[in-house]
Amino acid sequence: MGAGRSVLVLEARHRVGGRNFDRALAPGAVVELGGQWAGPGQDRVLGLARELGVATFPTYASGNNLYYRSGRLLTYSGDVPPAAPASLGDLETAILALNGMARSVTPDRPWTAAQAANWDQQTIGAWIGEHIPTAEARTLMELAVASVYGEQAAEISLLDLLSAISGAGGDINTLIGSAQSIRFLGGPQQLSIRLARKLGTAVRLGMPVTAIDRGSRVTVHTPSQSFSARHAILTLPKPLIGRIAYSPPLPPAHDQLLQRQPMGSVVKVNAVYPRPFWRDRGLSGAVTSDTGPIRITYDNSPPGGRPGVLVGFMEGNDSRAFYGASAAARRRAALACFARYFGRTAAHPSAYVDLAWAEEPYTRGAYGSFNPPGVLTALADAAVQPVGQLHFAGADFSPLWSGYMDGAIRSGERAAHEALAGLA
Amino acid sequence: MGAGRSVLVLEARHRVGGRNFDRALAPGAVVELGGQWAGPGQDRVLGLARELGVATFPTYASGNNLYYRSGRLLTYSGDVPPAAPASLGDLETAILALNGMARSVTPDRPWTAAQAANWDQQTIGAWIGEHIPTAEARTLMELAVASVYGEQAAEISLLDLLSAISGAGGDINTLIGSAQSIRFLGGPQQLSIRLARKLGTAVRLGMPVTAIDRGSRVTVHTPSQSFSARHAILTLPKPLIGRIAYSPPLPPAHDQLLQRQPMGSVVKVNAVYPRPFWRDRGLSGAVTSDTGPIRITYDNSPPGGRPGVLVGFMEGNDSRAFYGASAAARRRAALACFARYFGRTAAHPSAYVDLAWAEEPYTRGAYGSFNPPGVLTALADAAVQPVGQLHFAGADFSPLWSGYMDGAIRSGERAAHEALAGLA
């Protein structure tokens, strides 16, 4: 469009944004049920926000954080929870080791690292088990991994983590810290909504793509209509890209890769209170806990703190324990966690919204997809290539800031350049 | 049908058998491009063969085997290749360790083993790297794993292997040895063909299922027709089950599991010669090699040895090296391997047939699906459950003889019982 080409955007849902999804609390005040944060170095998403007139504000981080372990609740200030000194030493050693290994990993070709085969055949979980002696430090590192992937460390290749560290600037602390320091006033879904508004009628809602014919042109089928184009950019979560019926079928490398890059599993919970009552007690709203289902919380209030909002995450197996459970059971368990950390007041929010992303038919998991062991070294070079006139984009297709809105924008720019080059 | 119920079988291909697929060489003589062997203890497949009048014969195993390592070709008799004594000692120690661990794994619920979490967060590849000191023994064990799964040991959960060992009677040697000792005269696809013949017009070919509506009845859609039934048994490879469009969508546990159980990757090669010339030199046709793309071969001649047939396997990454290569390049590489092992005569077969299973649109890999790390402990209890009136069967759904024809029959019996119980 900007390049003078005609475009059409087919969106399966009756809204745009995908994993950018905000729920309105009051005019101008939203809670984010999906993508939420940005941080320093994420130039693309911050640039897009400026371009589209979406203001940013700092994540609330004043006051003390809470650390819950073995049934005890402790407060602390700064980034380092009051774990036992031996645990903190182990954790620091592990972080330095991971950052050190990540230095030899190029995020757009992690399989070329000298030690790639060795690192790719280990899970992050096994690495933690072998390299972190204290149980407390292991728990903290597993929690950090879950907060990046929404998945158990036992499922994820160590090389995937090293690549993520490298793609976020080289320090794992960025992934679990400063990448969450900036929020978007009115919610980040506005980025998607305002982009869609610019495209006007070129965006068609309620158009799930079920089949694609790959010929001299690309013909894209939805249950109600078919569309023909010279190029198509697919931006679904990876497992769902594999579920489209292609004719002719995708080449074996792409097909096998799409069999191997599952989505994590997260229930994102927001509890809304008239006021952020925890701030009165000098608390930031941030919790790090060894006890689920919610082990991580933050203050998620709009600027000014009216209303007060706590956000919490059930990640990996913690979220799976609620597959098939009622919404009421999920709410009860979530509020029990908030009350455990912030007292009885937290058990009685004025509003409560959560989303089990694995149940969303057009996403089927969160935060994003990941590489199990052996996949990056066996197959991932296929992933960076288009298939004829099919191009792939989305947060999980970016070597830089993979899994973030920033990565999604980068991968979209790359795919658009590929397609434009094909049209030239 | 046998229980007095009406049944309909929808087969995507224009043939029955799926991964049972034979190619005729001459009347009564076939080469198997898919399922091929059975062994002692596989009562179901041997019983079905008797019932359907398909005779069996022993896999040719007379004479010496070949061991190719570091550019040298050695002959040996018996099951143990002439590796260095230290390597053989390491291998034996590893086999005893694996068999020992498998004793605490119940194949229908491997996630309940006391050490399940620990074993499930390791890949087989990492376990081999840590527990087998000599390079030669590591190579041999990785080869054994590839011959079971058609996949790199670096991708597969150790707990999956222990479960496979347990489900095959408790000894890994069975999986890589005696489970291949029996063949079917005229080929095992006859089992599928004769079963289909019994069902007559109840079998509909060329009917790929693209969508399933789950209501009070099950409505199954193909591009040309829709069918309604009280129960449906799905027998596709696991990743392809996930690609059917379900309405309502599958529950999250099943969906996430189907995102996580990929197919291995195998090119199966048969080279046909007027006579099994290797037998004249006292060779069995069996090769174990450290050099790909074909590292494993067997004599695959019909009984009597007219013609002579060598079968070879490109497994895991060896097969991936030929994704996108021409059929001629694949043939050239395969025959170069046969010639390396059996001399120049092997380079000039009278016929050559191969199949790259990852390219087959209705299979997309081989030998079967497997569990990457962390999946069995996180999700696999979902897999043994039907979803309403949907039941699941196939070789990879059986705890006993998983991945074998025998396991496929067992899982089919289980699913049929489930469905019949639902009709009672």
A424: which residues sit within 8 A by CB, 6+ positions away? none
Question: CA gyration radius for chain A?
Answer: 21
Report yes or no: A226 at the B interface, CB cutoff 8 Å.
no
User: Quick check: is A162 in a domain?
Assistant: yes
Query: pTM of this prediction?
Result: 0.96
To test the contact with chain A by mutation, choose from B141, B155, B226, B363 the residue with the greatest count of A C-beta atoms within 10 A, namely: B155
Strand partners, A212: A220, A246
Nearest to A323 among B154, B243, B253 (CB): B253
Residue A323: its chain B contacts at CB < 8 A?
251-253, 382
Window 320-379 of B, Cβ < 8 Å to A: 320, 323-324, 356, 358-359, 361, 364-365, 372-375, 377-379
Window 139-158 of A, Cβ < 8 Å to B: 152-156
Pairing of strands B72-76, B64-69: antiparallel
Residues A99-117 have a mean pLDDT of: 96
Which chain B residue has the Cα nearest residue A259?
Answer: B262
For chain A, give the mean pLDDT. 95
Residue A358: its chain B contacts at CB < 8 A?
252, 255-256
Reduce the DSSP state of residue B91 to 3 states and report it: helix
What b/e readout covers A337-354, taking b as 16+ CB neighbours within 10 angstroms? bbebbbeeebeebeebbb
User: Quick check: is B343 in a domain?
Assistant: no
Strand partners, A24: A30
Q: How many CB pairs under 8 A join A and B?
A: 153
User: Quick check: is A157 in a domain?
Assistant: yes
Report yes or no: A126 at the B interface, CB cutoff 8 Å.
yes
Tell whether omega for the bond before A386 is within 30 degrees of 0, i.e. cis: no
Nearest to B365 among A242, A256, A361 (CB): A256
User: Quick check: is A98 in a domain?
Assistant: yes
Domain that holds residue B135: 87-172
Q: Token pair of B350, please?
A: 């009278």
Host H or E run for residue B193? helix B189-199
CB contact under 8 A, A356 and B252: yes
Residue B316: its chain A contacts at CB < 8 A?
378
Q: Domain total for chain A?
A: 1
Nearest to A251 among B155, B324, B373 (CB): B324
CB contact under 8 A, B378 and A324: no
Q: Which of B177, B167, B155 is nearest to B369 (CA)?
A: B155
Q: Which of these ranges, A176-190, A260-274, B337-351, has the smallest mean pLDDT?
A: A176-190
Residues A326-350 have a mean pLDDT of: 98
Write the CATH number for A143.
Answer: 1.10.405.10
Q: Token pair of A53, please?
A: 């007139």
Q: In Å, how far is A49's CA from the nearest CA of chain B?
A: 33
Which residue is listed with tokens 């790090």?
A288
Check if the beta carbon of residue B273 is closer than 8 Å to that of residue B345: yes
| Per-residue model confidence (pLDDT) at position B380 | 80
Report yes or no: A78 at the B interface, CB cutoff 8 Å.
no
| CA separation for the pair B145, A123 (Å, rounded) | 19
Check if the beta carbon of residue B10 is closer than 8 Å to that of residue B210: no
Q: The dihedral of CA B108, A151, A338, A172: what is its sign?
A: positive
Nearest to A323 among B122, B125, B251 (CB): B251
User: Quick check: is B290 in a domain?
Assistant: no
Q: In Å, how far is A104's CA from the nearest CA of chain B?
A: 21
User: Quick check: is A337 in a domain?
Assistant: no
Question: pLDDT by residue (tens digit) across A34-91?
Answer: 999 999 999 999 999 999 999 999 999 999 999 999 999 999 999 899 999 999 999 9
CB contact under 8 A, A316 and B378: yes
Q: Token pair of A288, please?
A: 């790090």
| Per-residue model confidence (pLDDT) at position B26 | 78
User: Quick check: is A128 in a domain?
Assistant: yes
| CA separation for the pair A342, A347 (Å, rounded) | 9
Residue B145: its chain A contacts at CB < 8 A?
none
Residue A155: its chain B contacts at CB < 8 A?
260, 372-375, 378
Query: Which phi and psi angles does B383 have, rounded to 5°?
Result: -65, -30
Q: Token pair of A397, please?
A: 């297709």
Q: In Å, how far is B15's CA from the nearest CA of chain A?
A: 19
CB contact under 8 A, A256 and B265: yes
SS3 assignment for chain A: CCCCCCCCEECCCCCCCCCCCEEEEECCEEEECCCCEECCCCHHHHHHHHHHCCCEEECCCCCEEEEEECCEEEEECCCCCCCCHHHHHHHHHHHHHHHHHHCCCCCCCHHHCCCHHHHHCEEHHHHHHHHCCCHHHHHHHHHHHHHHHCCCHHHCEHHHHHHHHHHCCCCHHHHHCHHHCEEECCCCHHHHHHHHHHHHHHEECCCCCCEEEECCCEEEECCCCEEEECCEEECCCHHHHCCCEEECCCCHHHHHHHCCCCECCEEEEEEEECCCHHHHCCEEEEEEECCCCEEEEEECCCCCCCCEEEEEEEECHHHHCCCCCCHHHHHHHHHHHHHHHHCHHHHCCCEEEEEEHHHCCCCCCCCCECCCCCHHHHHHHHCCCCECCEEECCHHHCCCCCCCHHHHHHHHHHHHHHHHHHHC
Q: Per-residue confidence of chain B (424 residues) as pLDDT tens digits? A: 578 899 999 999 999 999 999 999 877 789 999 999 999 999 999 999 999 999 999 999 999 999 999 999 999 999 899 999 999 999 999 999 999 999 999 999 999 999 999 999 999 999 999 999 999 999 999 999 999 999 999 999 999 999 999 999 999 988 877 789 999 999 999 999 999 999 999 999 999 999 999 999 999 999 999 999 999 999 999 999 999 999 999 999 999 999 999 999 999 999 999 999 999 999 999 999 999 999 999 999 999 999 999 999 999 999 999 998 999 999 999 999 999 999 999 999 999 999 999 999 999 999 999 999 999 999 987 766 899 999 999 999 999 998 999 999 999 999 999 999 999 8
User: Quick check: is B143 in a domain?
Assistant: yes
| CA separation for the pair A16, A9 (Å, rounded) | 10
Q: Which of A370, A176, A404, A133 is nearest to A288 (CA)?
A: A176
